[in-house]
Structure 1
Amino acid sequence: MQWSDYSNGERIKILRGKEMSQNELAHRTGLSLPTVRAAEQNRRLSLPTLLKLAHALAVDTSVVLGQQAPRRAMGQDDRATLRYISSSVHDTAAGFIPGDRVPVDPGELAGATLKAWSLYWAGEYQELGAILGPLMLDASVTAQSLDGDAGHPVLGCLSDAYQIAACVANLFGARDLAYSAIGHAHSTALAAGDPLRAARVDSARSWVYLRDGRLDRSMEVAEAAANEIEPRYSDQGAERLTVYGNLLNHCAVTAARREDTVRAGDYLSQLHAVGARLGRERDFHGARFGPHTATTQAVGINVTLGQPGKALTLIESVRPGQLESLADAARNRYQLDVAMAQADAKLYDKSLDTLERVLRDAPQWARHQALPTVIVQKIGSASTTRLRRVSKLIGVPAVGADGFTPATVKTAL
């Protein structure tokens, strides 16, 4: 069924989900329990009731009325997290800071920023959402209290907070918020006088364009930023190499999405060269890159290019110790690419084993990924008990490949 096919009452019940009882919804809205029950039974829904329910369920009224569908795979907690991040980004950027907010120690802000990046890469989005708002407010009011260069490190923290907000919004499919937050991140990085941080923001901006299907713009942004900070061969500075490698990775991924095999191959060669110069995995302003990232990313790029044989050969060269050096999100994404390569090679049992492991190990992260659904649909002709179990984990029917097209893969990868 399409979202618009449900009644208003059915939509309210679906949005409430299993994690919230009718009693709890009544408590959150200030409505009586009979009023909530009547709304879910599609018997009575006044405008004041509609507004209170939509606010408590963290959705627009248009979602309750069926005029637009809720974002994919988002539960009540996810919607609340996204709404809080959105209000924090817009209020901070507009200068709406509570009058009782006071400056804090810049060192504390730096520590909170590192914590936010750690939570992002671990896929702990609800805890991340809880600290992003205060981080933006504290960084903003603290930056205003400092003069000249003294405020630059604090502006850097604020830029990172905006960037993380953009990345979460992009992952959750809130594209308008992603564009807005990444714009604030870039202007704040420039105000901080940090060209490497601004280049890192451009890497995230390229990803926003990529997920929005704007491949030409994605490539343009990533290539321009990479050219701007390209290190000389004698330059072994780890920070510049890390950001540069991160940008080259976006170039390679975008070239693969555009089915430009030659260009993707050129960027893959450069990825491996930069990874070798770094020698190990590095992290700078949330940009993570190194030799193991180069190898695992090459697997996904070859999958996108429709070259599962090359992907499987690379997979054979990856050792468990190399994966341990990656962030949780990067490691999980690599495993999805492995599952996709195995499915493309018709190694269906291995693909399902790999996919099920990711879904069970990282359920909060995995539910915001489209690739698991693509893999299940691709394996659909091999309808087994395991397939049905995996399908249940991601909430899709275990059906055959009817309606499945290569474009589906391009969108999900």
Structure 2
Amino acid sequence: MSLPENVRSHRRRAGMSQEQLAAAANLSVGVVRKIEQGGSVRVETLHDLARALGTTTSSLFSSGPPEPVHGGEGNGVRLMELRRALMPPVGLGEAFIDSDDAADLAVIQRDIDDAHSLYQADRYDSVAKKLPSILRAASAAVAVSEEGEPRQRAIIVRARALLLTGKYLTQVRQYDAAHTALKEGIRDARETGQILAAATGVVGMSWLLLRQDRFDECERLASETASAVEPRMSSASPGQLAVWGELCQRIASAAMRNNRPDITQEARRMTATAASALDSEHVNFREHWTTFGPVTAETKAIEDLSLVGDARGVLRRADDGPVGRKALKRLGRPSQNNWDRHRLDVARAHTLLGSHQDAMDELIGIKRSSPEWIRHQTMARYIMTDIVSQRKRTLTKDMRQMASHLDVRA
């Protein structure tokens, strides 16, 4: 069934008119009518409808054919070299690997670490340029390595290269290529008995599924993996706690978006347990996906409030507790991406309350620290679109520049 048919069917099954559904979801009747007539809809709006209908968000999604892709979507030309390195042509024989690309494993690992630093510094173009040679070198190192321990060490390095590639490609929304990188990285880690590294790959795969609105699969994958790697709190290493906490975060995020609040609450409790056991933000990109600790856990709990439209709740907690200025000095800062995502939630809360200048201040701050990151954020474009459409006076210079940066028509 198509999305309009799914919404209409659930509404009628609930015995609700379009007016009643609109009131229960805190939407206008026009929005409900538009959806049931086949108009475009934000996933956030589907969350609101699912809550009002007492069903999961996934149950409303369309099962029909996809809409056609237009224009230059996909950055195909810009990422051609990376795609060649990640997904070489395969024929009847083995894929061709040039042994001349092989490098010392320590050199490859250093290049991976450098690329990770560039990723964290929001230098996405530089990451895209470095990754092809890293992938080719890692694959060649595996191909020329001797059986036994040398080959195991080469495969571990290749796994790290693939997981970083999957992280980058997910961030820039190249989902099919990201899936290939993450799948192969997880496989390499499993083959070498690196269970924690494989679980880190699952954290990334869950993030990919979340971005594709595949909430049921994300929750199940993260749940099964979290159960398999659940640490003993009294003896767990920081890396083990971080990976388990990150998986619990993925469970909570998927369940929250899928209108499963009980699952969300329990997963957030487990996340908080892992975070409190760390005492501060922990970062080691060779061991786990991103920075994790009490501050990160709190930003994700605040994100839940944003998802249900509790703007005042977001603002009450946005600069207090673990995310307050004093706590940040004591606990450490989360990754720049997680912090920027938190400030986007704050900007959205200001927009919902009509405080457009406050929202702009947040967007400007994010653009200043992470200009490339914000360009890839759908929420940032939604916020800017709302500001442009709701503003009654002439747009300020900052607003016009932000709209241009985010490719929003002013």
TM-score (structure 1 length as normaliser): 0.73
Corresponding position of 1:90: 87
Corresponding position of 1:397: 409
Corresponding position of 1:262: 262
Deviation, structure 1 residue 206: 0.9
Kept after mapping to 1: 8 A contact 2:206/2:250: yes
Corresponding position of 1:130: 129
Corresponding position of 2:57: none
Corresponding position of 2:367: 359
CA distance, structure 1, for counterparts of residue 367 and residue 379 of structure 2: 11
Q: Any idea what the Cα deviations from partners look like across 1:374-396, whole Å, max 9, x if unmatched?
A: 11233331244234443233221
Corresponding position of 2:248: 248
Deviation, structure 1 residue 367: 1.0
Deviation, structure 1 residue 345: 3.1
SS in structure 2 at match of 1:91: coil
CA distance, structure 2, for counterparts of residue 285 and residue 85 of structure 1: 23
**2:164 paired with 1:164:** yes
Deviation, structure 1 residue 353: 1.1
Deviation, structure 1 residue 174: 2.1
Corresponding position of 2:345: 337
Q: Any idea what the Cα deviations from partners look like across 1:286-322, whole Å, max 9, x if unmatched?
A: 3321111111222222211222232222212123462
Q: In angstroms, what is the RMSD of aligned CA positions?
A: 2.3
Q: Structure 1: give runs of 5+ residues left out of the alignment.
A: 1-65, 399-413
Corresponding position of 1:296: 299
Distance 1:116 1:156, change over 3 A: farther
CA distance, structure 1, for counterparts of residue 224 and residue 213 of structure 2: 19
SS in structure 2 at match of 1:346: coil
**2:322 paired with 1:310:** no
TM-score (structure 2 length as normaliser): 0.74
Distance 1:266 1:308, change over 3 A: farther
Give the letter for the 1:117 counterpart: H
Give the letter for the 1:84 counterpart: E
CA distance, structure 2, for counterparts of residue 234 and residue 320 of structure 1: 30
Deviation, structure 1 residue 138: 1.7
Matches within 5 A, 1:1-400: 68-71=70-73, 79-91=76-88, 95-102=95-102, 104-144=103-143, 145-283=145-283, 284-317=287-320, 318-320=323-325, 322=328, 325-379=333-387, 380-384=389-393, 385-386=395-396, 387-398=399-410
Give the letter for the 1:132 counterpart: L
Deviation, structure 1 residue 180: 1.6
Aligned length: 327
Give the letter for the 2:114 counterpart: K
Greater shift, 388-397 or 232-241, is seen at 388-397
Deviation, structure 1 residue 111: 1.8
Q: Structure 2: give runs of 5+ residues left out of the alignment.
A: 1-67
Q: Any idea what the Cα deviations from partners look like across 1:300-358, whole Å, max 9, x if unmatched?
A: 22211222232222212123462862222222222212211222233322111111221
Deviation, structure 1 residue 364: 1.4
SS in structure 2 at match of 1:232: coil
Give the letter for the 1:391 counterpart: A
Distance 1:153 1:363, change over 3 A: same
Deviation, structure 1 residue 278: 0.8
Distance 1:272 1:99, change over 3 A: closer
Give the letter for the 1:86 counterpart: R
CA distance, structure 1, for counterparts of residue 229 and residue 341 of structure 2: 27
Deviation, structure 1 residue 67: 7.0
Distance 1:301 1:118, change over 3 A: farther
Corresponding position of 1:401: none
Runs of 4+ in 1 over 6 A off after TM superposition: none
Deviation, structure 1 residue 146: 3.5
Deviation, structure 1 residue 81: 4.2
CA distance, structure 1, for counterparts of residue 175 and residue 119 of structure 2: 18
SS in structure 1 at match of 2:390: coil
Kept after mapping to 2: 8 A contact 1:123/1:364: yes
SS in structure 2 at match of 1:286: coil
Deviation, structure 1 residue 239: 1.1
Distance 1:80 1:383, change over 3 A: farther
Kept after mapping to 2: 8 A contact 1:119/1:128: yes
Deviation, structure 1 residue 245: 0.9
Kept after mapping to 1: 8 A contact 2:233/2:277: no
SS in structure 1 at match of 2:101: coil
Kept after mapping to 2: 8 A contact 1:91/1:97: no
SS in structure 2 at match of 1:259: coil
SS in structure 2 at match of 1:100: helix
Deviation, structure 1 residue 170: 2.2
Kept after mapping to 2: 8 A contact 1:81/1:130: no
Give the letter for the 1:305 counterpart: V
Distance 1:143 1:92, change over 3 A: farther
SS in structure 1 at match of 2:280: coil
Greater shift, 189-198 or 108-117, is seen at 108-117
